[in-house]
Amino acid sequence: MARPRSEEKQRAILEAAIHAVASHGVTAPTTMIAKEAGVAEGTIFRYFPTKDDLLNAVFLHLKQQLRSTMIASDAPADSIEQRARESWNSYVDWGVLDTNASRALNQLSVSDRITAEARVEADALFPELSELAEPHPDSPLADCGSDYYNSVFSALADATIGYVAYHPDRAAACKAAGFTMLWKGMGHP
């Protein structure tokens, strides 16, 4: 008879996988994840039947963490630009606070091992972002599609997170500059 699953073990596996993916990408071995989680390798597969199931669970876990951060800092804003700025600042702050999580999410976001279903579920966590992420019709991004916009957003956010992590005294100015590049790149005045 199999032992009951533990939320604590599952969380330890997810956190270990975040660290492993951040440092070694999606090819990080499950033996490394198990060692860091303090469990036997077979235990991982009691919680996640395949490594791809684990990677998809990590992807969704990180998106949920990010969503929680963005909700916690969600302040009423008058304009779409202000809401977009708040979302940008929350994302950057989250990435600076947990660089492993940010790196792992970047790795997973571009991985073909993340299923379409997981991507749809993750997008559903951020319904308000679809309005915020709409490029102006005159923008160079207007004909490129949301995947390209998301790639541009991630690259700019990653550059901002990396810089701010090493230069916290410039955080406010760099977050503002990053947002301005994003907003103007979307064709907004």
The domain limits of the chain are 50-185
- pLDDT recorded at residue 117: 97
Judge whether 107 and 51 are in contact, CB under 8 Å.
no
Give residue 145's region: left, alpha or beta (phi > 0; psi -120 to 50).
Answer: left
Q: Rounded to an integer, what distance in angstroms lies between the CA atom of residue 138 and that of residue 67?
A: 30
Task: State whether residue 18 is helix, strand or coil.
Answer: helix
Fold of domain 50-185: Tetracycline Repressor; domain 2 (1.10.357)
Q: What is the model's pTM?
A: 0.86
End-to-end distance of the chain based on CA atoms, in angstroms? 64
- pLDDT recorded at residue 68: 87
pLDDT in tens, the chain (189 residues): 456 678 999 999 999 999 999 999 999 999 999 999 999 999 999 999 999 999 999 999 999 999 888 776 555 667 888 888 888 999 999 999 999 999 999 999 989 999 999 999 998 888 777 666 677 777 777 788 777 777 788 889 999 999 999 999 999 999 999 999 988 888 777
- pLDDT recorded at residue 189: 73
